[in-house]
C-alpha cells in the first residue's frame, strides 16, 4: 500500500497574530511545522510527504523541508485549495492519502497508523475525541447566547487530524465546491461514510498564543515520563559539511588567509582575494545545509566578486545560514602550504573567522601543514585548505 501524507501549512495564521506564519513558530526549540512534517516523514507506513506552504515560502523553504521524501507545493486561498494542490502533486501510485494540520505538532505514530488502516478498510477516517463535557447548542444571540438544546454527549466527537482517505474518496471530496473546515466534511457531502478513529488528547491544535503554554507543557511532561519520546526536540547534533579549495601561487599577488595578509613573495591566484581558508570553510558551511558551493553563490563570471574579500563572502553565507533557521556550531580548517609558515598568524585568522561566522573564537580551529615536498603543493607552486563545519538548528 502506497501512502501519501499532505501537510496543510498554507495558512497565514491570522487568528494567531504575529509577524511570521503560525506554523513557523518554535515549540520546545523547534518549529511546529518541522515537528508535524517529521512525524510523517519518519513514519514507516508513509511513502511521500507533500507540504502545502504559503506561496512566498515555496521559493526558499526552510532547510528541514529539504528532504528527498518531502515535496513542497504552494497553498491556496482556502484550506481545501491547499489540500487540492497537494493532491494533484501526489504520486499516481497513492492508495491512501492522509491529511494533517501543520498546527497539530504532536500526532503520534500510533494515531497516524490507526487512521491510515481505518481509511484503507472503510474509505475515509477521521481522528476524533469523544466529548467529555455536556454539550449545549446555542440559539440566536441578539441578547446574548441562550441554550436552545442540550445535545447527547455520547453522540458528539471533536474532530482532529490526521484524516485519511482512499484516493478515489478524496478525489470526490475535493470536487465539492462549498467551503468546509476539514476534508471529512467534504467526504460526507460527497456521500462517503467517514469512520471515527479514537484521537489523542495531546494532539492539540495551536490556534491562539495561549495554546503555546499547553504545547510546552506537553513537551516537558513527555520528557519527564519518557526521555526518548518523539515529542521532544531532536538532539542538536547538527549537520556536517566539508570544504576544499586550492589555488596556484604566483608573484605579484598578496597571500591572504582567514582575512589576514601573510608576508610572502607570492600569493594565491583567483577571481576574488583567493583566500583558501575562507573558501574551504564557506563550502563546508554551504555543504552542511545542501546549499551548493561557493561558485554557485559567488560565480567568477560575475564582476561583483572581482577581488572581493572572502571574509565578506563568508559573512554573507553565515547570514544565509541564519535565514534557514540554523547557526554555525564550529569549524576546523587545515592549510597545506610549504612556505611561509603561518603559525604566528593563526590567532588573528581565528579571530577574523569567528567574527565572520558569529561564533566564539574557541569554536574555530586553524592548523598549518606542509606536503613534505610532494607534488605541486610540496614544490610550493600551490596552496590548499581542507575544512569541516558543523551547522545546527537555532
The total of other beta-carbon atoms located within 10 Å of residue 212's CB is 16
The greatest distance separating any two alpha carbons of the chain, rounded to the nearest whole angstrom, comes to: 93
Give yes or no for a contact between 184 and 194, defined as CB atoms under 8 angstroms apart.
yes
Q: Residue ranges of the domains in the chain?
A: 3-225, 239-393
Give me the pLDDT at residue 231, please.
57
**193: which residues sit within 8 A by CB, 6+ positions away?**
122, 123, 124
Give me the pLDDT at residue 186, please.
96
CATH architecture assignment, domain 239-393: 2-Layer Sandwich (3.30)
Give yes or no for a contact between 160 and 205, defined as CB atoms under 8 angstroms apart.
yes
Cα end-to-end distance, the chain, whole Å: 37
Give me the pLDDT at residue 99, please.
98
pLDDT digits (tens, 9 = 90+) for 135-151: 998 887 666 688 889 99
Give yes or no for a contact between 124 and 187, defined as CB atoms under 8 angstroms apart.
yes
Q: What is the mean pLDDT of each run of 10 residues along the chain (394 residues)?
A: 95 65 84 92 94 91 84 92 96 97 94 97 97 88 79 94 98 93 95 96 91 86 60 63 97 97 96 97 95 93 94 96 88 97 96 94 95 95 97 81
Q: Would you say the pTM of this structure is higher than 0.75? A: no
Give me the pLDDT at residue 13, please.
61
Give yes or no for a contact between 159 and 188, defined as CB atoms under 8 angstroms apart.
no
pLDDT digits (tens, 9 = 90+) for 56-114: 889 888 888 877 889 999 999 899 999 999 999 999 999 999 999 999 999 999 999 99
Write down the CATH number for the domain with range 3-225. 3.90.550.10
Give me the pLDDT at residue 229, please.
53
Amino acid at each position: 500500500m502506497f501512502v501519501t501524507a499532505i501537510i496543510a501549512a498554507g495558512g497565514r495564521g491570522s487568528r494567531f497574530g504575529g509577524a511570521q506564519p503560525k506554523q513557523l513558530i518554535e515549540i520546545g526549540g523547534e518549529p511546529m511545522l518541522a515537528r508535524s512534517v517529521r512525524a510523517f516523514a519518519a513514519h514507516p507506513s508513509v511513502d511521500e510527504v507533500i507540504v502545502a506552504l504559503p506561496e512566498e515560502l515555496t521559493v526558499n523553504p526552510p532547510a528541514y523541508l529539504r528532504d528527498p521524501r518531502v515535496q513542497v507545493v504552494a497553498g491556496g486561498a482556502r484550506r481545501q485549495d491547499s489540500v487540492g494542490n497537494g493532491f494533484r502533486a501526489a504520486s499516481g501510485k497513492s492508495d491512501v492519502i492522509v491529511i494533517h494540520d501543520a498546527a497539530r505538532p504532536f500526532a503520534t505514530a500510533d494515531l497516524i497508523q490507526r487512521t491510515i488502516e481505518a481509511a484503507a478498510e472503510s474509505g475515509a477516517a477521521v481522528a476524533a475525541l469523544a466529548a467529555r463535557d455536556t454539550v449545549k447548542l446555542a440559539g440566536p444571540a441578539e441578547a446574548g447566547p441562550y441554550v436552545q438544546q442540550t445535545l447527547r454527549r455520547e453522540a458528539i466527537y471533536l474532530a482532529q487530524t490526521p484524516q485519511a482517505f482512499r484516493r478515489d474518496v478524496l478525489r470526490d471530496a475535493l470536487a465539492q465546491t462549498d467551503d468546509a473546515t476539514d476534508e471529512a466534511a467534504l467526504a460526507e457531502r460527497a456521500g462517503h461514510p467517514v469512520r471515527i478513529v479514537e484521537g489523542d488528547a495531546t494532539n492539540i491544535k495551536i490556534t491562539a498564543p495561549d495554546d503555546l503554554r499547553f504545547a510546552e507543557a506537553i513537551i516537558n511532561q513527555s520528557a519527564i515520563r519518557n526521555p526518548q519520546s518523539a515529542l521532544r526536540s531532536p538532539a542538536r547534533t547538527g549537520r556536517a559539511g566539508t570544504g576544499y579549495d586550492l589555488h596556484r601561487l604566483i608573484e605579484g599577488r598578496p597571500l591572504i588567509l582567514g582575512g589576514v595578509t601573510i608576508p610572502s613573495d607570492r600569493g594565491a591566484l583567483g577571481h576574488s582575494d583567493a583566500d583558501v581558508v575562507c573558501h574551504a570553510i564557506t563550502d563546508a558551511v554551504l555543504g552542511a545545509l545542501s546549499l551548493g558551493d561557493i561558485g554557485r553563490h559567488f560565480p567568477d563570471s560575475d564582476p561583483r566578486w572581482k577581488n572581493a574579500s572572502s571574509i565578506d563572502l563568508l559573512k554573507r553565507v553565515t547570514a544565509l545560514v541564519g535565514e534557514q533557521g540554523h547557526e554555525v556550531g564550529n569549524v576546523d580548517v587545515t592549510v597545506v602550504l610549504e612556505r611561509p609558515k603561518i603559525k604566528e598568524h593563526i590567532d588573528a585568522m581565528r579571530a577574523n573567522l569567528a567574527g565572520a561566522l558569529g561564533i566564539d573564537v574557541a569554536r574555530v580551529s586553524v592548523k598549518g601543514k606542509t606536503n613534505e615536498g610532494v607534488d605541486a603543493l610540496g614544490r610550493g607552486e600551490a596552496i590548499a585548505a581542507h575544512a569541516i563545519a558543523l551547522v545546527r538548528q537555532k
